Each structure stands twice: as C-alpha cells, then as structure tokens.
Amino acid sequence: MDNKFFKNMESKTGVNMKDVFELASSLQGANFKDEATVRNVIKRVSQIANKPVNKETEDKIVQSIVKDGNKLDFGTLAEMLNKK
C-alpha cells in the first residue's frame, strides 16, 4: 500500500487510516443481523470520524440495516451521518 496516499488521506480527513483498517478487519465475518453488533459498528465509526451520532440517528441506521436488510458499508454510514 502507498503510505504517502494514506498520509494524504489522513491529513485531508483527519481520520487515522490505521483505525479504519482495524475497523475493516474487525467487520469481516460480523453478523449484521445482530442489533448489538450494528450499534457497536456505528459507535466505532462515529468515534473514528469524530462525528457524534445521536440516539435517533443511530436507531434509524440500525432499523435500516437490521430490520430492512440494507447493506452496511462506509458509504451508507457516511451518507446517513451527513443527513443528521
């Protein structure tokens, strides 16, 4: 991987790429039909992005993923977080 690329991403976003890779690794094999798992992922992404998620937004994301069967990816989470 290109270290310069990731350093550039870190400087532009303020997000530590090591944290992103650790999160991505932890998601492999995770059960996204489990509400507790989804809530933990939301909290971790919120911490990494330094964007607090209020209870109402968290509930909407959980509803969308667990109950409605929508996929969970960084794009989906970012879109939901930016709507708040």
User: Whose CA is closest to 32, among 78, 71, 80, 83?
Assistant: 71
**What per-residue confidence (pLDDT) applies to 78?**
66
pTM for the model stands at 0.70
Whole-number Å distance between alpha carbons of 67 and 11: 36
Query: CA 79, 80, 81: angle at the middle one, nearest 5?
Result: 90
**Average pLDDT for 58-64:** 90
Helix residue ranges per DSSP H, 17-73: 17-27, 35-49, 55-62
Spatial contact of 33 and 26, defined as CB atoms under 8 Å apart: no
pLDDT tens readout for residues 9-58: 788 888 888 888 888 888 888 888 899 999 998 898 888 888 899 999 99
